[in-house]
């Protein structure tokens, strides 16, 4: 058993265990912490597969920005207690069964896929020089379109989050 | 046992199924949103493993674009959740079934 396999299994156990922690922990803050742990394990997998740039971006964007946003919203709403009403036992069981059935069906479909042994030698396709070259030649149009997407998401978030002015009619109804 | 490319298939399938289970089981809108992020990351992991298997950088750029879209999605989605909390003082998705009527 070489070092690659040992690291693969350790990171996989961490990723799956903390993903289960996300969906089973009662406190939303604990869920966020488990999800951050999952993202770190997935970043470890990226480093194993010579995708160093994506590993760093995954930590910066997901663990650094998105999860902080989640934590910020949870703290803002004061949800860090386990006050969430639970779904019925039957509905939870149905959720687990349907997820498990999906797992089994896709597992049966991909079981016959011929696996190739992963080449553990390092390559330079995941380095930022190579990725940047491909991004700015082959994928320059999607790159520019994603800037428009970001702009519209920013405007959308501001518009949704804006406080609505109280309508006159509503005010009158409240007085009456 | 050397690591096979189908090991990565099974791992990302497992993470994706856990995300599906969480989406169906929980009632807290924020937890459901986090499970969607988990599913996106499972797909990212699979794309990177294909990139490693075929020695091609295109899949890694697709992961990069998925991250871009996920960041935009989180900004809008959390704005919607905050707005919903401001209206009904809860993030329970069962309250949202009044959209049906």
Q: What pLDDT is recorded for position A174?
A: 52
B17 versus B89: the higher-pLDDT residue is: B17
Q: What is the pLDDT of residue A175?
A: 52
Residue B91 has pLDDT above 90, yes or no: no
Q: What is the CA radius of gyration of chain B?
A: 17
Tokens coding A68: 């902080």
Q: Could you tell me which residues come within 8 angstroms of residue B36 by beta carbon, excluding any fewer than 6 positions away? A: B19, B23
pLDDT per residue as tens digits for the range A80-138:
666 666 667 888 889 899 999 999 999 998 888 777 777 777 778 888 898 999 999 99
Is B96 at the interface with chain A, CB within 8 A? no
**Nearest of B60, B41, B12 to residue A62 by alpha carbon:** B41
Spatial neighbors of A93 by CB under 8 A, at least 6 apart, are: none
Q: CB of B66 within 8 Å of any CB in chain A?
A: no
Per-residue pLDDT, A91: 85
pLDDT of B19 over the 60 cut: yes
Report the length, in residues, of chain A: 176
* B95 at A interface, C-beta within 8 A: no
pLDDT value of residue A124: 80
Q: Is the pLDDT of residue A168 over 70?
A: no
Q: Please write the tens of the pLDDT for every residue from A18-48.
A: 999 999 888 889 999 999 999 999 999 999 9
Q: What is the pLDDT of residues B45-71, one digit of tens each?
A: 999 999 988 888 899 999 999 999 999
- The full set of domain ranges for chain B reads 5-100
Least confident of A11-15, A144-148, A159-163, B22-26: A159-163
Report the predicted TM-score, pTM, of the whole model to 2 decimal places.
0.88
CB of B42 closer than 8 Å to CB of B29: no
pLDDT band at residue A170 under the 50/70/90 scheme = low
pLDDT average, residue stretch A48-68: 91
- Closest in A85, A106, A139 to B61, CB measured: A139
pLDDT at B100: 72
> Does the CB of A28 have a partner CB in chain B at under 8 Å?
yes
Asked if the model's pLDDT at residue B99 lies above 80, the reply is no
Q: Which one of A51, A56, A64 makes the best mutation probe of the B interface by having the most chain B beta carbons within 10 Å? A: A51
Q: Please report which confidence band the pLDDT of residue A176 belongs to, taking 50, 70 and 90 as the band edges.
A: very low
How far apart are alpha carbons B93 and B90 in whole angstroms?
8
Work out the number of other CB atoms within 10 angstroms of the CB of residue A163: 7
Among A54, A95, A119, the residue with its CB nearest the CB of B64 is A54
The CATH architecture of the domain made up of A1-83 is: Up-down Bundle (1.20)
Out of 3.40.50.300, 3.30.365.10, 1.10.287.3510, 3.10.129.10, which CATH number does the structure's domain B5-100 have?
A: 1.10.287.3510
């Amino acid at each position: 058993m070489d070092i690659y396999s040992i690291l693969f299994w350790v990171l996989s156990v961490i990723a799956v265990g903390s993903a289960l922690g996300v969906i089973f922990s009662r406190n939303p803050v604990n869920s966020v912490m488990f999800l951050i742990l999952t993202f770190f394990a997935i970043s470890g997998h990226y480093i194993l597969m010579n995708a160093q740039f994506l590993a760093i971006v995954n930590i910066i964007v997901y663990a650094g920005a998105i999860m902080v946003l989640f934590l910020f919203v949870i703290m803002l709403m004061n949800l860090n207690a386990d006050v969430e009403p639970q779904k019925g036992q039957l509905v939870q069981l149905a959720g687990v069964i349907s997820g498990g059935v999906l797992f089994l069906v896709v597992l049966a479909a991909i079981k016959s896929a011929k696996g190739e042994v992963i080449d553990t030698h390092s390559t330079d396709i995941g380095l930022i020089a190579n990725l940047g070259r491909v991004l700015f030649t082959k994928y320059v149009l999607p790159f520019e379109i994603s800037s428009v997407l970001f702009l519209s998401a920013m405007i959308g978030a501001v518009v949704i989050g804006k406080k609505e002015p109280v309508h006159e009619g509503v005010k009158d109804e409240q007085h009456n | 046992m050397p690591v096979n490319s189908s090991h990565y298939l099974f791992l990302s399938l497992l993470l994706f199924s856990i995300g599906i289970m969480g989406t169906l089981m929980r009632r807290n809108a924020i937890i459901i949103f986090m499970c969607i992020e988990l599913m996106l990351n499972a797909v990212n992991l699979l794309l990177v493993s294909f990139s490693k298997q075929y020695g091609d950088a295109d899949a890694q750029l697709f992961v990069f674009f998925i991250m871009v879209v996920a960041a935009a999605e989180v900004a809008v989605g959390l704005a919607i959740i905050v707005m919903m909390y401001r209206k009904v003082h809860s993030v329970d998705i069962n309250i949202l079934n009044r959209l049906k009527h």
